[in-house]
A and B are shown apart, each in its own frame.
Chain A
Amino acid sequence: MGIIKAFKLGFDYFKYDEDGNVQEMQRAVDDINLDIEAGSFVAILGHNGSGKSTLAKQLNALLLPSEGTIWVDDMDTSKEQELWKIRQKAGMVFQNPDNQIIGTVVEEDVGFGPENMGVPTEDIWKRVGDSLRKTGMTAYRHHSPNKLSGGQKQRVAIAGVMAMRPQCIVLDEPTAMLDPNGRHEVLEAVSELNKKENVTVILITHYMEEVIHADKVYVMDSGKIVMQGTPREIFSQVERLKEYRLDVPQVTLLAHELHEAGVDIPEGILTTEELVSALCQ
């Protein structure tokens, strides 16, 4: 039984005129079925406007389905009495670090979540300490968040989610605004949480290189899931991904171009090591 399941999920955005009548309706998520295994690392790809974020916001009941059902750890998100439990199970991290940090000191920011949940004080401090350690931010505990780099701010945001002890963490383009180093730091932290703490990770991104180690990749287009499989299965279809306005990692593209030019190497190469061993046997 998956930690997150969706059945025939649909979501509509409405545009109203001045009198409150529906002027336009747009289907953002359409007929989505999901079964995400606890402890797995799942990536969602898709172009701008393909419905990724709308789907993500339904994973912790920030949006409720217009159609179909979504269950987080067996709880139906449309049941209002489960709302807080659901948000505790599935935490969310957004793109812009500056929009999700509220504390004036790092440890305060991280403690905000558990405090809000009514966790006893000494337990809060324990959780804050744990979360900062898990994200490698212990050294910044007493710093002011606005003096941190982008990657560090995102790790504070992740620590804040971790302090609520979620089983699942949804990251919506967490690295879009970061420099290469910041991107690396955040991915490293996320992958550690997945491996060591067995937290289920759902990563939405436009950087293809970030998903090569995922257990499963979903590709969205016009609100639907149009491809799913392992990174290798997905990235061996270079032309199809381009139709969906996506791309493959540079190394995969290079291998594909070499393959097309008649070099005897397999499709779906994902890392530099794989390419080197394919070319230099």
Chain B
Amino acid sequence: MSIELKNVTYTYSPETAYEIHALKNINLVIPDGQFMGIIGHTGSGKSTLIQHFNALIRPTSGTILYNGEDIWEEKYDRRKLRSEVGLVFQYPEHQLFESDVLSDVCFGPMNQGLSREEAEKEARKALAHVGFKEEYFSKSPFELSGGQKKRVAIAGVLAMNPKILILDEPTAGLDPKGRDDILDQIQLLHKMRGITIILVSHSMEDIAKYVERLVVMNHGEAVFDDTPRKVFSHYQELEKMGLAAPQITYIMHALKEKGLDVDVNAITVEEAKDSILKALKKGGKADD
């Protein structure tokens, strides 16, 4: 049970003067239940890549297997694929269109053939899972704040009970609390429902906090594919690609340079705190 990309290449406007190789020979296996992150500068091929996962884009060459089956086989049921591999785009407001929140979330499951009643059940469950309050169910989605719209858009995809959830920068423009809330909810869903999560983000801090595996895209190639800890240890190379490491990485390197014996591979505030406290104790500087 997985998504598998074999030598996938995608070229925009092939054989013209405007030819751009957006993806070059990508090989990836995303096993079931993984929480994976994708980072890369604007134009690195991230969005092109994720649109291959649910057959919105057909590769110029190479094969994409879902659960071992080639999704571009003539008889393959891509409609079913798209209901199993849900994609939440960067602008949730472009994804909402119904007159009230509940109907909007019902659209997906009804499209899958559920009755309104059954769809509503799924919709309510999905809205509860993203922490959306029932008192706003009858509001127009267009009256909601940015954070609420994102929740509704995510719920709309969740209501279809996807096995894989792809989120393209779900937190851009959200306030810090809204950002943490949504990502915490996604992590909870990952744990409760065992859904595979693929998170595209420009926030290295969020990536460090949530994902177990990190793929770095640069000029259409997957240049790193490892744990976030390992990837962020290449922070100087990441900077050359217009990326960065979380602020913590820089702090730990600076402390180490000044002689404090800390773990430079710490990538979250929590890890850094533990490591610094340990180093200070060894040096006899902590108060206790």
User: Which residues of A are in contact with B by a Cβ distance under 8 Å?
Assistant: 15, 46-50, 95, 149-151, 173, 176-183, 206, 208-209, 242, 245-247, 249-251, 253-254, 257-258, 261-264, 272-273, 275-276, 279-280
Contacts and interface: CB of A to CB of B under 8 A. Distances in A.
Given A206-B175, A258-B277, 12 more contacts: A47-B176, A48-B147, A149-B41, A179-B42, A179-B242, A180-B202, A180-B242, A180-B244, A182-B242, A245-B176, A246-B176, A279-B260
Interface residues of B, number: 44
Interface in B272-288: 272-273, 276-277, 280, 285-288
B75 interface: no
Interface in B1-16: none
A280 B260 contact: yes
B147 A251 contact: no
A180 B44 CA distance: 13
A263 B42 contact: no
Contact of B287 (A180, A257, A264, A272): A264
Given A48-B147, A245-B178, A280-B259, A176 B172 contact: yes
A134 B133 CA distance: 47
A254 B249 CA distance: 12
A258 B266 CA distance: 15
B99 interface: no
Contacts of B280: 263, 279
Central interface residue in B42, B247, B277, B288, by most chain A CB within 10 Å: B42
B173 A279 contact: no
Given A181-B41, A245-B177, A245-B178, A250 B205 contact: yes
A254 B258 CA distance: 18
B112 interface: no
B247 A263 contact: no
A272 B42 contact: no
B198 to A, nearest CB: 18
Nearest to A206: B175
A222 B189 CA distance: 31
Contact of A253 (B179, B269, B287): B269
B181 to A, nearest CB: 9
A140 B104 CA distance: 43
Nearest to A253: B269
Contacts of B242: 149, 179-182
A175 B259 CA distance: 35
A178 B147 CA distance: 18
A128 B244 CA distance: 32
Interface of B: 40-43, 90, 143, 145-147, 169, 172-179, 202, 204-205, 242-244, 246-248, 250-251, 254-255, 258-260, 269, 272-273, 276-277, 280, 285-288
Central interface residue in A181, A246, A273, A275, by most chain B CB within 10 Å: A181
B105 to A, nearest CB: 20
A44 B270 CA distance: 28
Given A178-B202, A250-B247, A272-B254, A263 B277 contact: yes
A48 B176 contact: no
Central interface residue in B43, B146, B204, B242, by most chain A CB within 10 Å: B242
Contacts of A150: 42
Nearest to B39: A179
Given A251-B251, A279-B280, A280-B260, A173 B273 contact: no
A245 B181 CA distance: 10
22 contacts: A47-B175, A47-B176, A48-B173, A176-B172, A177-B90, A177-B173, A179-B40, A179-B42, A179-B202, A179-B242, A181-B244, A206-B173, A206-B174, A245-B178, A247-B177, A250-B269, A254-B272, A262-B286, A263-B287, A272-B251, A275-B251, A279-B258
Given A245-B177, A254-B272, A272-B254, A177 B286 contact: no
A276 B254 contact: yes
Contacts of A251: 247, 251
Central interface residue in B147, B269, B286, by most chain A CB within 10 Å: B269
A150 B172 CA distance: 13
A280 B255 contact: yes
3 closest A-B pairs by CB: A245-B177, A181-B242, A247-B176
B44 to A, nearest CB: 8
A176 B273 contact: no
A254 to B, nearest CB: 5
Central interface residue in A46, A151, A246, A250, by most chain B CB within 10 Å: A250
Contacts of A178: 42, 202
A251 to B, nearest CB: 6
